Structure 1
């Protein structure tokens, strides 16, 4: 009875969102849960029944349409990040055309990220409350709107006159609005399509598009701008592909039910939560009490800070390193292509390698995921230091250290998303994704491009404007990333302490929801169809605790 009392106290101590999740499952999914067991006594004696239900449901929802939907999400994610990095690939041309300095050119990324992060929680809120089949109020509708917006605005921004840099900043802000609507709902949709190892591998493929799309954007931007001698045409490549994705999403994408991969009780509770949603402040309060969510967001912020700075300023640093040694403009331009290829390769090996390493370590410790994330960040510190010290004098060696730095950084990309999905209930995942994106970008790549540009201008103030002085100033500014990486590694180490307990807490809530739903069905049969009284929800939570 000690364990029963403990679970009962834990259930009563949960936030309103968690207690409500159990109650909604008991009220709306009695029939589905009853099919999983003939009586409440059978449930009490068979603790493996809930996982079996999840596995049967997982086989049913992971058919061909699930793989097609996941493939489309990966394609859009690739174009998403290709669009972002295309601007970085042609940054030196934009600086020359608009006659702006490092600080102002860094605003291009900052304005994009600011609008992106500010709207992520709003779209996350809508994503947790939309219902499949309703075009304007579903996650599919949100994605279609977002992809249409950022594709159209990106195309329009390529026609901005060279005398109107402010208008270019506004257009990049509007692109952030479109991408925010897509980014907040895509990962929760994948979590609803797949469960267990299938979900992990789906998130691996989804997150592989981050470095791959970034690298593709660098390559496309450099090749197209060199061929046309203009930055404008580089922005006109991804837009038609984005509009093609809109058509494919509208025709081929099938939106899953929220919580579908967790089984019938989770699906019913999430659907009922969408119809009768909780208050947004209650959701935020519930998420703030999840230690793993808070700490992974802080860790992800450090990754975002460094990767945002690297994506925007590394091509410029490589170009200046070549020019400061007397190299030609064509030789300097080729460094962007090399950086793009290195980013693609580092992303592929980093995401897959980090996730596979964590999977193997899970056999020994439940803390494998945050430990791998912490180790990846700590390992990237000496590699980034070596990159900054060698890139001018030994360019090839600098390329090698750039690859190792990005390889270490990308080991945590899929793991962070997977951890966030594991410790959040299905009815909170889009909100959690939006809040995580807001926080990580606010502390990360919304700040780092402008901050490093500001530091670069400060370091070179009062001296000559030679390529060498520009390179030295930019390199000094990038040392800041070393301290941020150490702080991020510490956040993931702290997360390793709480992660197993947070996973068990969510598993208990979902199991209580399934058991409560089945018990409710059995009690309704005994009462000949009589409805429960006003305290039904608390009674069902207590019953679930006693059974467990």
Structure 2
């Protein structure tokens, strides 16, 4: 399977859809489905684990957030640096098989220390997924088709919620949380084999970078990326959205149990359709809208995600503080629609503003911000505030501790707006030949 040249075709016409890239896109999307699913299972199981093993919310927040993200984000950077130089297909397949085995192993843990170890190793495996996948897709799709292709790739989280999250909830409710992990870990191993056997590594468009030592080459590339001010503002915005997404993912099931007295099966049936179907609509509508933008409306390729994040803030507040059924359901639906619109166009912008040989690394750094900073602080901060506010508000303390997910999208919107200004000033950061252009500025 050969790669397609980057860049926008001369004359302003949009590139045809590369149908030879559809099968790799489908498989990479399914791999991302299990990437999102496997990491989110612990949030569904937290109430049962707390009851069985006994622990404070603070410690559970650290296990669900920090234990996973330490390896996921930190190892993701050198793995992505390697992916810019080595066979990305093999890295993805090996990582998928390993993290799927760690998902299944979680069902056998006997204490919180073993649970934390399983999360660490799962994070190490999942670090092999997202950056190499984005790099492959950037080679398979021209610049003007990347927003839509990455929007389709971005539906993975919604597919996970629609199809597999309710199944996982049913298994947990009828057979226990341990069985849920064992069963949901198996499909990923099979998918890793299929991906390895049916997808070829795309041909790279530029020669391999010079062979430098890991430390010297990695730090040099990181410095070059952050010298790009557009990339730096995107990094800040994605970090803030990471705190929102990870805190909501870890604690929303517990919020439903404590505030609305729902069972784990009911929680899965609510989160699945809302985060799934509504989130899917937001991702696809946002991707299609940006795909249809005229070439001279470069600003709105990041400006639209900025507006979506701005609207997500009050929606989250309505969901958390609404007392009537229609208020919190409406808030949850609106936040589900707006929250993930930014991902596909932001990733598309990132691969457009950096050199081809730094694409996987750039994505890994964006994920580092969203994961190590956002995920470690988000779930842990909510857990800590839960314990601090419990004496005053009881189970409803989680309503106020989770208000951080209403603030972070607004701050992220400001960062993305600034990035959009810089992106537009650089003309989209990529010329017709696919050569990276500087996107610098204050």
CA change 1:50–1:104 in 2 (3 A) is closer
| Greater radius of gyration (CA) | 1
When normalised by structure 2's length, the TM-score is 0.90
Is 1:304 the counterpart of 2:276 in the alignment?
no
Matches within 5 A, 1:67-86: 67-86=22-41
Matches within 5 A, 1:27-42: none
Task: Measure, in 2, the Cα distance between the counterparts of 1:271 and 1:380.
Answer: 42
Q: Give the CA deviation at 1:243.
A: 0.7
Q: Is the 8 A contact 1:221 1:234 kept in 2?
A: yes
Q: Is the 8 A contact 1:291 1:502 kept in 2?
A: no
The equivalent of 2:112 in structure 1 is 165
Q: Is the 8 A contact 1:158 1:236 kept in 2?
A: yes
CA change 1:276–1:195 in 2 (3 A) is farther
The equivalent of 2:371 in structure 1 is 441
The equivalent of 1:251 in structure 2 is 197
Q: Is the 8 A contact 1:212 1:344 kept in 2?
A: yes
Q: Give the CA deviation at 1:363.
A: 5.5
SS of 2:155's partner is: helix
Q: Is the 8 A contact 2:355 2:436 kept in 1?
A: no
Is 1:398 the counterpart of 2:337 in the alignment?
no
Residues 101-135 of structure 1, C-alpha deviations (whole Å, 9 max, x = no match): 211111232211121011111111101111xxxxx
Is 1:102 the counterpart of 2:57 in the alignment?
yes
Is 1:222 the counterpart of 2:169 in the alignment?
yes
The equivalent of 2:440 in structure 1 is none
Is 1:88 the counterpart of 2:43 in the alignment?
yes
Task: Measure, in 1, the Cα distance between the counterparts of 2:260 and 2:232.
Answer: 42
Is 1:207 the counterpart of 2:151 in the alignment?
no
Q: Give the CA deviation at 1:382.
A: 1.4
Root mean square deviation, CA, Å: 2.7
The equivalent of 2:3 in structure 1 is none
SS of 1:100's partner is: coil
Q: Which one of 451, 456, 475 corresponds to residue 381 of structure 2? A: 451
The equivalent of 2:407 in structure 1 is 483
Is 1:469 the counterpart of 2:384 in the alignment?
no
For structure 1, list consecutive stretches of 5 or more residues without a partner in the other structure: 1-48, 131-137, 259-266, 324-328, 514-548
Q: Is the 8 A contact 1:357 1:372 kept in 2?
A: no
Residues 308-331 of structure 1, C-alpha deviations (whole Å, 9 max, x = no match): 1111111111111223xxxxx64x
Task: Measure, in 2, the Cα distance between the counterparts of 1:410 and 1:115.
Answer: 24
SS of 2:127's partner is: helix
Task: Measure, in 1, the Cα distance between the counterparts of 2:352 and 2:8.
Answer: 17
The equivalent of 1:151 in structure 2 is 100
For structure 2, list consecutive stretches of 5 or more residues without a partner in the other structure: 1-6, 438-442
Q: Which one of 232, 239, 251 corresponds to residue 178 of structure 2? A: 232
Q: Which one of 316, 320, 323 corresponds to residue 388 of structure 1? A: 320
Q: Is the 8 A contact 2:319 2:328 kept in 1?
A: yes
The equivalent of 2:141 in structure 1 is 194
The equivalent of 1:272 in structure 2 is 208
Is 1:412 the counterpart of 2:361 in the alignment?
no
When normalised by structure 1's length, the TM-score is 0.73
CA change 1:52–1:88 in 2 (3 A) is same
Q: Is the 8 A contact 1:90 1:221 kept in 2?
A: no
Task: Measure, in 1, the Cα distance between the counterparts of 2:154 and 2:427.
Answer: 22
Q: Give the CA deviation at 1:297.
A: 1.4
Q: Which one of 301, 311, 315 corresponds to residue 253 of structure 2? A: 315
The equivalent of 2:84 in structure 1 is 128
Q: Is the 8 A contact 2:8 2:433 kept in 1?
A: no
Task: Measure, in 2, the Cα distance between the counterparts of 1:203 and 1:180.
Answer: 18
Number of matched residues? 428
The equivalent of 1:430 in structure 2 is 360
Task: Measure, in 2, the Cα distance between the counterparts of 1:51 and 1:339.
Answer: 41
The equivalent of 1:352 in structure 2 is 284
Q: Is the 8 A contact 1:83 1:217 kept in 2?
A: no
Q: Which one of 215, 221, 224 corresponds to residue 286 of structure 1? A: 224
Residues 468-499 of structure 1, C-alpha deviations (whole Å, 9 max, x = no match): 711x2111101122222221111011112100
CA change 1:360–1:509 in 2 (3 A) is closer
Q: Is the 8 A contact 1:319 1:333 kept in 2?
A: no
Q: Is the 8 A contact 1:116 1:179 kept in 2?
A: yes
CA change 1:274–1:83 in 2 (3 A) is farther
Task: Measure, in 1, the Cα distance between the counterparts of 2:212 and 2:109.
Answer: 45
SS of 1:147's partner is: helix
Q: Is the 8 A contact 2:170 2:265 kept in 1?
A: no
The equivalent of 2:310 in structure 1 is 378
- Residue range with higher mean Cα deviation, 96-105 or 116-125: 96-105
Is 1:183 the counterpart of 2:117 in the alignment?
no
CA change 1:479–1:272 in 2 (3 A) is closer
The equivalent of 2:89 in structure 1 is 140
- Residue range with higher mean Cα deviation, 152-161 or 480-489: 480-489
CA change 1:503–1:97 in 2 (3 A) is farther
Residues 426-446 of structure 1, C-alpha deviations (whole Å, 9 max, x = no match): 111011111111122122122
Task: Measure, in 2, the Cα distance between the counterparts of 1:296 and 1:493.
Answer: 9
